[in-house]
Chain A
Amino acid sequence: MGSNVVFYAMYNDDDVLKDGAKKLVAKGVKVADVFSPFPIHGLDPIIGLKETRLGIMAFIYGLTGLVLALIGMRYMMVTDWPMNIGGKPNFSFLENMLAFVPITFELTVLFAAHAMAITYFLVNKTIPGMPAENPDPRTTDDRFVMELRLSDNSKFSEKELEEMLMETGIVELDQKHIK
Chain B
Amino acid sequence: MHKEATIREPLVLGHKTFHQVTEDVCKPIEGKAPKTWYVLFAIAAIIGVYGVGCILYLLGTGIGTWGLNKTINWAWDITNFVWWVGIGHAGTLISAVLLLFRQKWRMAINRSAEAMTIFAVFMAGLFPLIHMGRIWVAYWVMPLPNQFGSLWPNFNSPLLWDVFAISTYLSVSLVFWYIGLIPDFATIRDRAKKPVAKKIYGMLSFGWSGRAKQWSRFEMVSLILAGLATPLVFSVHSIVSFDFATSVIPGWHTTIFPPYFVAGAVFSGFAMVQTLMLVMRKAYNLEAYIHTKHIEYMNIVIMSTGSIVGIAYITELFVSWYSGVEYEAYAFINRATGPYWWAYWAMMTCNVVSPQLMWFKKLRTSLTFTFLIAIVVNIGMWFERFVIIGTTLHRDYLPSSWSMFYPTHVDIGIFVGTIGLFFVFFLLFTRYFPVLALNEVKTILKSSGQSFKDGDAKTPAFSIEEQHLADVKMKPASKTNTAGNSVEETPALDPSLIAMVGTLGVTNAEHKDNLKELTGLGDATEKKLNEIGIYTFAQLAKIDPTADLGLLTAYLGAAGNQANLLVWKTEAEEKLKNDNK
Contacts and interface: CB of A to CB of B under 8 A. Distances in A.
Interface of A: 12-16, 33-44, 47, 49, 51-52, 54-55, 58, 62, 72-73, 76-77, 80-81, 83, 85, 96, 99-100, 102-103, 105-107, 109-110, 112-114, 116-117, 120-121, 123-134, 137-142, 159, 162-163, 166-167, 169-175
Interface in B194-246: 202-221, 224-225, 228-229, 231-232, 235, 239, 242
Given A163-B558, A173-B473, A80 B206 contact: no
B164 interface: yes
A143 B210 CA distance: 11
Given A81-B150, A142-B22, A39 B443 contact: yes
Contact of A171 (B18, B224, B443, B467): B467
Contact of A129 (B18, B22, B203): B203
Interface of B is mostly: helix
Interface string B140-158: 0001000001111011101
B519 interface: no
Interface residues of B, number: 86
Contacts of A85: 154, 156
A37 B439 contact: yes
Contact of A12 (B186, B232, B467): B467
B151 A81 contact: yes
Nearest to B1: A41
B481 interface: yes
A77 B231 contact: no
A171 B564 CA distance: 9
B562 interface: yes
Nearest to B206: A126
Contacts of B481: 159
A121 B206 contact: yes
B215 A140 contact: no
Contacts of B220: 51-52, 54-55
Nearest to B481: A159
A120 B470 CA distance: 36
Contacts of B204: 128
Nearest to A85: B156
A116 B221 contact: yes
A131 B190 CA distance: 12
15 contacts: A49-B213, A77-B155, A80-B150, A96-B156, A102-B242, A106-B235, A113-B172, A124-B217, A132-B202, A133-B207, A134-B209, A137-B191, A140-B189, A142-B461, A175-B475
Interface string B458-480: 01011100110010111100100
B161 interface: yes
Contacts of A100: 155
B190 A132 contact: yes
Given A35-B210, A54-B224, A110-B168, 11 more contacts: A36-B215, A37-B187, A38-B443, A83-B154, A102-B164, A113-B229, A127-B206, A131-B202, A134-B210, A137-B191, A172-B473
Given A132-B209, A142-B22, A15 B459 contact: yes
Contact of A127 (B2, B179, B187, B207): B207
Contacts of A58: 224, 228
A107 B473 contact: no
A113 B211 contact: no
Given A13-B462, A99-B156, A109-B228, A171 B470 contact: yes
B373 interface: no
Contacts of A124: 213-214, 217-218
A72 B209 CA distance: 41
B335 interface: no
Given A39-B443, A102-B164, A126-B207, A52 B154 contact: no
Contacts of B207: 125-127, 129-133
Given A96-B156, A128-B203, A163-B482, A140 B210 contact: yes
B17 interface: yes
Nearest to B161: A102
Contact of A44 (B210, B216, B439, B467): B216
Given A34-B211, A106-B235, A163-B482, A52 B217 contact: yes
A39 B218 contact: yes
Nearest to B218: A39
Contact of A103 (B164, B189, B219): B164
A58 B224 CA distance: 8
Given A39-B219, A141-B187, A170 B210 contact: no
B534 interface: no
A162 to B, nearest CB: 6
Contacts of A77: 152, 155-156
Given A127-B207, A170-B563, A162 B478 contact: yes
Nearest to B185: A140
B224 A12 contact: no
A99 B443 CA distance: 44
B182 interface: yes
A171 B186 CA distance: 23
Contact of B190 (A80, A103, A141): A141
Interface in B457-514: 459, 461-463, 466-467, 470, 472-475, 478, 481-482
B472 A40 contact: no
